[in-house]
Homo-oligomer: A and B are copies of this chain.
Amino acid sequence: MLERDFEVEKVLELIEQKEFNELKRYLERINGADFPSIFEEIDEEDLIIVFRLLDKEKAAEIFAELDADMQERLINSFSDVELKNVVEKLFIDDTVDMIEEMPSNVVKRVLRAVSDEDRKIINEILNYPEDSAGSIMTTEFIDLKEDMTVAQAFDKIKKIGLTTETVYNCYVVNKNRKLLGVIDIKDLLVAERDQKVTELIDPDIIAVTTLDDREDVAKAFDKYDYVALPVVDKEERLVGIITVDDAIDVMIEETSEDFEKMAAISPNEDGYYKTTVVEHAKNRIFWLLFLMFSSIVTGAVITHYEQAFAALPLLVSFIPMIMGTGGNCGSQSSTLVIRGLAVDEIKSKDFLKVWWKEIRVAVIVGVIMAIVNGIRIFVQYHDIQLGIVVGLTLIVTIMLSKSIGCMLPLICKKLKLDPAIMAAPLISTILDTCSVLVFFNIAVAIMNI
C-alpha cells in the first residue's frame, strides 16, 4: 500500500511548538480518511485549533469522517459562524447521519445553521424509516432537463458540479421530475456537443424507491455494478441518489449484524469499543438464558436414561462427542444456507434441492465418521457392539443434523424471519436433544440395557 506517510507525533509536536503555518502545510498532505486516527490523539482544547487551520472544503470532508462523539465535541467548540461554514459544505446525507446521533440541543443548533431549503430536505429524510433507501440517500446530484444538449449539460455540471456528491452519473428528468434515464459521464464525454441528452440515455433504468430496504439497495449495487443509483418516490419522481460508498457501509454493517446474530448476540450498531460493558452484557444475556433453558431439556432427556448409563457408565463419555458432532454438522449446513440466502444464491423455494444435496453429503460424512470411530472404539475398548452403537448413532445424527440445519433457515426465510438466528448456537442446542435421544435409543435397542 502506497499511502502518504504521516506521523501523529509530528502533528502533536507542531501543535506543541505552535508552528501553525508548518502544521497547516503538513495537514494538507494527509487524506481526510486518515484524520480520525489523528484526532483521537489530540487534546480536546487543541482539536479546535487544528480544525481551524484546515480550509473549508477539507474541514467539512474531515468532519463527515469523524465519529459522533468527536463531532459533538467539535460542534460545542464551534462559534455559530464556524458551524454554519462546516454544515454548508457537508453533503445532505452526512448532515442527516450526524443529526441522527446528536442530542437534541446540538440538533437544534445544527438545524438553525442550515438554509431553510436544506432544513426542509433534512426533515424529510429524517422521516424515512431507519432501514430504508430514503434514509441513506443524498439530494445533491446532477439532474438534466430532457430538452438539454450535451453542451448545456456540461455548463450545468460546471456550475453545480462541486456542490454535488458525484458527477459520475447524471439523471435526465421531465417537467414533472419523473426520471427518464441515467447517463454515464463517459457517454457524455464522448458525445458531440450538439447532441440531445435524451439520445444518450441508457434504455434500461435501474432505480430504487425511497421505501426499499437498504440491504436490497446494497445488493443492487453488487449486481448492477453502478457507482450510484437513483431513488424515486411512488410517482417515479427523482428525489435523491445513493452512492456506492454508502452502499458499502450498509453491506459491512449488515454483515456485522449477521455475524452477531449467528453468535447469539442481539445486534448492535455501535462498534465493539463504543458499546459499554453493561450494553454488551445486555446484548448477550437474552440468548444465553434462552439457550440455557433449551439445554435443560437435553439434561432431562439424559436423566430419563439414567438406568442405561448406570449399567454402562462409559456411555456418558460419548455424549460430548456425539452432541458436538451433531451441532457442528448442523451449523455447517445452516451457515452455508444462511450465507447462500444472504447473497441470493439460494432461494427459499429451493427446499428440496438443498435438502437432497445435504442428505447425500450427510451419508458420505456420516459413514466416514462412523468407520473412524468404530475403529477407534474397537482398538481402545475391544467392544464391537459399542462401536456399532456409536457408529450408527453418528450416521443417524449427522443425517438428522444436516437436514434440520439446512431446513430451519429456509423455514425462517419463508416466515419472513431473519434466517441468521438459525445459526450455530440455536441449531446446536436443538440438535443436542436430538443427538442424545438417538444415542440412548440405539444403545438401549442394541445393547438391551
Q: Which A residues contact B (CB, under 8 angstroms)?
A: 1-4, 28-31, 33, 154, 157-158, 161-162, 166-168, 185-186, 189-190, 203-209, 212, 216, 220-225, 227, 232, 236, 244-245, 248-249, 251-252, 255-256, 259-260, 262-265, 271-273, 277-278, 280-281, 284-285, 287-289, 291-292, 295-296, 298-300, 302-303, 306, 309-310, 313-314, 316-321, 323-325, 327-329, 331-332, 334-340, 343, 345-346, 353-354, 357, 360-361, 364-365, 368-369, 372-373, 376, 424-425, 428-429, 432, 436
Contacts and interface: CB of A to CB of B under 8 A. Distances in A.
Given A2-B232, A309-B316, A335-B263, A206 B281 contact: no
Contacts of A222: 245, 248-249, 252
A162 B200 CA distance: 13
A374 B236 CA distance: 60
B321 A319 contact: no
30 contacts: A4-B204, A31-B204, A33-B225, A157-B190, A167-B185, A221-B248, A227-B227, A244-B244, A260-B336, A263-B331, A264-B331, A265-B336, A273-B346, A273-B353, A278-B364, A281-B361, A281-B364, A285-B364, A287-B328, A289-B368, A295-B324, A302-B319, A306-B316, A309-B313, A316-B319, A324-B429, A327-B428, A331-B424, A424-B424, A428-B428
Contacts of A272: 336-337, 339-340, 345-346, 354, 357
A326 to B, nearest CB: 10
Q: Report which residue of A227, A314, A369 has the largest number of chain B beta carbons within 10 angstroms of its beta carbon.
A: A227
A4 B205 contact: yes
Contacts of A30: 204
Q: Is the interface of A mostly helix, strand, loop or mixed?
A: helix
Given A216-B1, A425-B328, A300 B317 contact: yes
Given A251-B251, A303-B317, A317-B299, A29 B369 contact: no
A365 B284 CA distance: 8
B262 A335 contact: yes
Contacts of A300: 317
A167 B105 CA distance: 44
Contact of A288 (B1, B166, B328): B328
